[in-house]
Chains A and B, each alone.
Chain A
């Protein structure tokens, strides 16, 4: 076997890039370039997904990544992460309190009369999954006037923007372990490799920027029976979290912006309290940038499963931190899958040589022709 030179692809690679651009613009004279505002607004859930999986809350750049990568969420998240890797880290924020979130949706499946009430907000939960053919040829005038008409019909209300957490009610009744905030330094997954065992903060950060489908698949395995979490959604919240930092001149806390996020707490099977105390429910927690409820719920289920696995040892895949945390990152897993498209000429030549050699030997000796388990110096069984 000789070395296989890899040359001559430069022109084709340039051509492939041009073809991508040609297909993106293939509407020609009839086409209109997508604006980032259109993507961010009309494809808001797609934008949410990309900025959460990219690990960077930057809606305009998430929209740009979606446009550039022609709707491929994995590639878009990859691009966003590549961008963030070029930016300097200026600071870590103080711990932000999500109870200050400006809510647009909050629901609980634990009980209906939650303090502050249930707010459905924007959700497809109660819509029929039937095609809306009126969107095929949408009237721009109707489209542009909807917000105005919607707001006109809504009465002024006195609803607050912040709501008490549902779990605080359970805590007040002693049904949950007390929240005792700990000031430990969280694990930074962008700077440190995951060497197991890892602390829970590493698991939370890894899941917060995980690929939605991967997270769902593993959580689903737990829901279906490869686990025993049996979760109840104590609260699912979507809202804008004000980011507060000290003003450099006055030291007073100021708001520098807000982050749309989804947060979920699930209540799971009860266990004996600490130090032999009364039994209390256990909990799982999920959160992510943007509006992505399936991701937050899946993360909360896996958080609870991993807590059990970290404490007692895993009894199924979703409780195994190494199995879960090393297989949910979209950029990692997409990269590994994609690398198989790259030239493997040398390694495959080697495989071919081995196969030919094995076949020659097998034909000469009459042994196993599949090559499987073939070991001239070992036990043929």
Chain B
């Protein structure tokens, strides 16, 4: 698998990087940023977001509560003058982590130097998510009710 046939659309990148240990992501971003100039288009911020849902009875919007949110939006420039924008929104308190992901986002989107490591982290994140999904699927598979087994005693357990 290589970035030419990147199977991960950009809207999934942050999810995949979030599945990895934070220090791995931050180290990779720091390595990329070392040889490039990073400017904050908006200062990285950490705070909360109000989570809006629509209720399942009358389809009215309401707020379920709050979630942590960090966000960053950066511009990355190479010494050769190549430039790209990157951004990240994550459910986390650490603005510096969001900034690290925003740098990786820019680097990978424009294939700036170091994009290979950002891409490798996507693959690693995908494996972590696959593992988590397998556990969840196991929960579903193990506990799915098979009513056909009750066919011979139909009616016994119906209220």
The smallest beta-carbon distance between B53 and chain A, in angstroms, is: 5
Could you tell me how many residues of chain A have their Cβ less than 8 Å away from some Cβ of chain B? 86
**Cα–Cα, bound, A92→B139 (Å):** 32
Chain A positions within 8 Å of B45 at CB level? 88, 90
- Asked whether A255 lies within 8 Å of B57 as measured between CB atoms, the reply is no
Contact with A along B112-151 (1 / 0, CB 8 A): 0000000000000000000001111111111111010000
**Cα–Cα, bound, A200→B59 (Å):** 11
Cβ-based interface call for B36 (8 A): no
**Which of B10, B53, B64, B135 has most chain A Cβ within 10 Å?**
B64
Contacts between chains A and B (CB distance < 8 A), count: 238
Question: A93-B52, A113-B147 given as contacts; is B89 within 8 A of A201 (CB)?
Answer: no
Question: A87-B47, A179-B59, A257-B90 given as contacts; is B140 within 8 A of A157 (CB)?
Answer: yes
**Cα–Cα, bound, A112→B151 (Å):** 12
Cβ-based interface call for A78 (8 A): no
Interface residues on B, range: 35 or more
Cβ-based interface call for A43 (8 A): no
Cβ-based interface call for B65 (8 A): yes
Closest residue to B73 on the A side, CB-wise? Answer: A248
- Asked whether A186 lies within 8 Å of B52 as measured between CB atoms, the reply is yes
- Asked whether A201 lies within 8 Å of B63 as measured between CB atoms, the reply is yes
**Cα–Cα, bound, A289→B50 (Å):** 13
Chain B positions within 8 Å of A104 at CB level? 136, 139-140
**Which of B71, B91, B105 has most chain A Cβ within 10 Å?**
B91
Cβ-based interface call for B66 (8 A): yes
- Asked whether B11 lies within 8 Å of A249 as measured between CB atoms, the reply is no
- Asked whether B68 lies within 8 Å of A287 as measured between CB atoms, the reply is no
Chain B positions within 8 Å of A200 at CB level? 58, 60, 62
Question: Of A159, A187, A188, which one neighbours B137 at CB under 8 angstroms?
Answer: A159
Chain A positions within 8 Å of B93 at CB level? 58
Which listed segment binds B: A7-15, A16-24, A115-123, A272-280? A115-123
**Cα–Cα, bound, A259→B53 (Å):** 12
Chain A positions within 8 Å of B68 at CB level? 56-58, 87
Cβ-based interface call for B15 (8 A): yes
Chain B positions within 8 Å of A182 at CB level? 59-61
Chain A positions within 8 Å of B69 at CB level? 90-91, 256
Cβ-based interface call for A89 (8 A): yes
Contact with B along A64-78 (1 / 0, CB 8 A): 000000000000000
Which listed segment binds B: A32-40, A94-102, A132-140, A215-223? A94-102
Contact with B along A185-224 (1 / 0, CB 8 A): 1111110000000001100110011000000000000000
- Asked whether A167 lies within 8 Å of B64 as measured between CB atoms, the reply is no
**Cα–Cα, bound, A200→B63 (Å):** 11
5 nearest CB pairs, A to B: A257-B91, A248-B87, A283-B57, A285-B57, A88-B47
Which residues of A line the B interface, CB within 8 A?
Answer: 52, 55-58, 84, 87-98, 102-105, 112-113, 117-122, 147, 150-151, 154-155, 157, 159, 161, 165, 167, 177, 179-190, 200-201, 204-205, 208-209, 240, 243, 245, 247-250, 252-259, 261, 263, 265, 283-285, 287-289, 300, 303-304
20 contacts between A and B (CB under 8 A): A89-B48, A91-B49, A91-B50, A93-B50, A151-B134, A151-B138, A182-B59, A182-B60, A188-B63, A190-B66, A201-B60, A201-B61, A247-B10, A253-B11, A254-B12, A257-B15, A258-B91, A265-B57, A284-B57, A303-B55
